[in-house]
Every structure is written in C-alpha cells, then in structure tokens.
Amino acid sequence: MITIAHLITGLQTGGAETMLAKLVGSMDTTRFRNIVISMTDGGSIATELSTSGVRILSLQMRRGVADPRGLTRLLQVLREEKPDVLQTWLYHADLMGALAGRLAGVPRVVWNLRCSDMNRPNYRWLSRHLPLLLARLSGMPDAVIVNSGAGRAVHERYGYRPRAWQLIPNGFDVARFHPDPEARGRFLAEHGLPDNAFLIGLPARLDPMKDHCTFLAAATDFASKHPQARFVLMGSGLQAQNPRVRRLIAACNLDGRVLLLGERRDIDRILPSLDLVTLSSAFGEGFPNVLGEAMACGVPCVSTDVGDAAAIVGDTGTIVAPRDPVALAVAWQQMMALGPEGRAALGADARRRIERHFSLSIVAAQYEAFYERITAQPGPSPAAALLGNA
C-alpha cells in the first residue's frame, strides 16, 4: 500500500481542485491510500471528497496571510501519517511542501504544475513572482508533474530545471459527462427560452485570465446578426446579483441575451444542452477542463489558442487567436452554419477523442504507474540529498 499525501492551497472549485478530487476517487484503494491536506478551510470540493470517503485535513491558514503555524501543523500531519509521497498542487503548496517534506522525512516529494503563464500584472505581487522563486528551487522535488506541454515550456522559460518531468494530462469521467438528448428541452423550459435558441456557453469563473470581455464583445457582434442567440455564463462571480457583471452586459447591449448561472455543481447536466462551448481565455491555461468536459458531452468547442487547447480539441472544433472577438464571432458563425446534424457529428467525434485519449481511467492509471515507479527508486530522496548539502 502506497500512501500519498496531497497538499493543495484550498478546495474551492477550480481546475486543479477538481482534478485532485477525480484522481483520488478513481485510484485503486487496494494499492493506494490518499490523504488530502488543504492549506485553507472548506470549499465545495471538500464536500465532494468527504462524501467519497477520502480523509481531509486542514492547516487552517487564511488566504493571503503567511502563517508559520501552518507549517507546524503540516509537519505534525506528515510525521503522523508517514506518507510515501508528498504530492503538492499549485505554487503555494509547492513552496510549503518542498520545505515540510524534507523536515518531516517524506521519502518522495513531487510538485504538480497546473497552468502556463500566470506572471501577469492582474495578480498580486507574490502570485506573480512565486513561480520565479520556485524555479530556483525546482531541483528540490524528486519530480515535477505537468498537465500540459504548454505549461512545461513556460516553466522552463521561468528557469525550472527539475530532476525529472512527467506529463500527465487531465482526465474526464465519461460516465458522468455524456450526451443527453433530453438536456436541451429541460434547459429551455427551465429558463423560458424559445425552441430555436442558439446556446453558446462559457463555463469559467470571473477572472482576467478567462477574458469575459472578449467573449462579450464577440457576443455583441454575433447577437446583432442572430436574434436567437443566447449566451450562458457559469462560474464563480457570474451570479445575476453581481452588479459589475450586469453593468458589463448592459454596456455590450446584451440585456436579456445572457444567462448568469453562477457557480454550478451540476455542470454535467447543463453542458449537453448547449449548441457549442467556448473558452475565451487570454493566458494562463494549461489543460482546460471545460473543453474536455464539453467534448465528453458531445458538444463541439471553439477555443482560443491557450495552453494545450489545440491539442485537446484536435479537428473536432475550432481554435482562434486570444483577444480577438471578431475571430471568435466568425468561428461561432461557422459552427451555426453546420446545422444541428453537423454539430452533432462533430460532437460525436469530440467524445470519441476524449474516450480514446483523456478518459479518467486512463489518466488515473498513469498517476498510479508514476507513483509506483517513483517509490520503487532506490536510495534517498534527491530532494533530501540536495537540502542536506545546502
């Protein structure tokens, strides 16, 4: 039995958090024991993990506050649980885990990079500069997992020089995310929409990275030509009660054309109802979950060329340049011109692509094989040896 302690910044809804939950819920419990340690408290993913029987611990740290007591709590947990691997998720956990893993004597420490270029002025100083600091420490972990080739390339430019790289993409539950011929009718009835509505969805939290401004600019152009178009926005910050979002929609002359659904845990019920799904991100993406989930539901995608989006979509959708609302609107027009049957055929190809390359069972098996290999390596942890010589 291999014990893996997963250290993550928090358990709010997000790509890394969702992938962690899917992974630990899919691994072989006769061979692997997983513990999830959150630096902060709570979150919707914490509830999901608890119901699946995974042990969750919290370091009770506050976001944005450097609290040395968190390190003390982490050391206590690691000494009590004695994991074979400390797997860290996201930058802050990478930094804390590199130190705590050595002090607690964990045999193997592994970082997990989930994004590409996040060194942007939109974010706090620490968030922008932490990857550059970690680049100087990147020889400490035994390996660094990346979920995208784009993420590895960006971090190599930052100066990351780990002892080993391991590429493992995101995986998708094709049993949960699947085509549903009844979903569209339910959605239209629930929201009082006409039968001929053309539904374009953007499942993404309100964040500069997701570039809702480009999406809404494209929507303004598209809506002026297609009165049946409706735009479905879902994610944290996209509630109808958010005055900032309402003002932005009004400024784009899209009142009555945009549905604001907020953060949803039933996205698997919503995606199959859409005519197409868009990712409009401008930067920062590694392996966008939303594309794989939509494709698994048989919905064709239009995405900006960020992270590994083009490698995920392949020839089952359309890729356009970031920050180009005209190109985005043109791609939507081309998708609409295919008609329902053409989009259904493209969506069926998309689902087969996910099943063949990115199903959760395939990805979980890759993680399992990686953990078995790294724990079977003889000798002391390279991280321990490096720090011992420091």
The domain ranges of the chain are 2-171+360-385, 183-357
387 band by pLDDT with thresholds 50, 70 and 90: very low
Token pair listed for 249: 């929609």
pLDDT at 60 over 80: yes
Q: By the 8 A CB rule, do 296 and 172 touch?
A: yes
Q: Return the higher-pLDDT residue of 382 and 270.
A: 270
How many angstroms from the chain centroid is the CA of residue 189? 30
80 band by pLDDT with thresholds 50, 70 and 90: very high
The dotted CATH code for 183-357 is: 3.40.50.2000
386 band by pLDDT with thresholds 50, 70 and 90: very low
Token pair listed for 42: 């709570």
| Overall average pLDDT of the 186-196 stretch | 97
| Overall average pLDDT of the 187-215 stretch | 96
Query: How far is residue 167's CA from residue 179's CA, in Å, rounded to a whole number?
Result: 29
Nearest-5° Cα angle at 41, 174 to 235: 45
Asked if the domains at 2-171+360-385 and 183-357 fall in one CATH topology, the answer is yes
What mean pLDDT value characterizes the chain?
A: 92
What is the predicted pLDDT for the residue at 1? 93
Q: By the 8 A CB rule, do 332 and 200 touch?
A: yes
Main-chain dihedrals φ then ψ at residue 276, nearest 5 degrees = -160, 160
What is the predicted pLDDT for the residue at 15? 84
What is the predicted pLDDT for the residue at 388? 38
What is the predicted pLDDT for the residue at 385? 42
The dotted CATH code for 2-171+360-385 is: 3.40.50.2000
pLDDT tens digits, 3-45:
999 999 999 878 889 899 999 999 999 999 999 999 998 777 8
Beta bridge partners of 88: 7, 111
Nearest-5° Cα angle at 116, 124 to 346: 130
pLDDT tens digits, 143-184:
999 999 999 999 999 999 999 999 999 999 999 999 999 999
Name the CA radius of gyration of the chain, rounded.
21
